[in-house]
Amino acid sequence: MIASPNGRKTVLLVLPQEGYDAGEFRYTWTSLRSRGIDCKVASPVKDKAVGGIDFYYPEFALDQADSAAFDGVLFLGGPGAEQLWENTQAQALAKKMAAKGGLVGGIGRGVVTLGKAGLLKGVRVTGNPSCKEMLEKLGARYSGSQVEPRWLRSNPKRVVTAFDAGAAIRFGQRVARDL
């Protein structure tokens, strides 16, 4: 896998441009950073991403994010995550990461992006309960657990999914362990 210039593993967090879940983002970020994982952020455009009263200026637009530069990619949820479900750049990023053996993950409504990319067929996942039916239509097996670490059939790494912001610290811990 690719290490950052300081020798650490690096994960790309993908935020919707508007309506990301600030708790999912901040707790996942903090959990990964506390375990020595470098985090970079992308959104559909390289401009201010907004999550309620929270905001973040991403380092990359999705079309600038190169899966070869990262060890994993995580799709964050919130009401705006639907922006990413049909986004072909987000889906391509997830597919490329899985194809190279990197870790892919999602939390809350962000898990659907992995399903839309075709990565969850037959895989046990969790995520926002409002997405259960859609995830099942995409071939995933929804559990409703806090965190689901599972092997992808086509990938020697794992897919890690999480329920919501309440599971974000455990999500980050699991991602760090699996990198």
Burial 16-28 (b: 16+ CB within 10 A, else e): bbbbbbbbbbebb
pLDDT at 152: 58
pTM: 0.94
- Residue 144, amino acid: G
pLDDT tens across the length of the chain (179 residues): 444 556 789 999 999 999 999 999 999 999 999 999 999 999 999 999 999 999 999 999 999 999 999 999 999 999 999 999 999 999 999 999 999 989 999 999 999 999 999 999 999 999 999 999 999 999 999 999 999 997 655 555 589 999 999 999 999 999 999 99
- Residue 72, amino acid: G
Structural domains in the chain, sorted by start: 10-178 (3.40.50.880)
Q: CA-CA distance, 12 to 72, in Å (whole number)?
A: 6
Helices in 65-138 by DSSP H: which ranges?
82-85, 88-99, 111-116, 132-137
pLDDT at 2: 45
> Please, are residues 17 and 44 in contact by the beta-carbon 8 Å criterion?
yes
Find the angle CA(106)-CA(177)-CA(64) to the nearest 5 degrees.
45
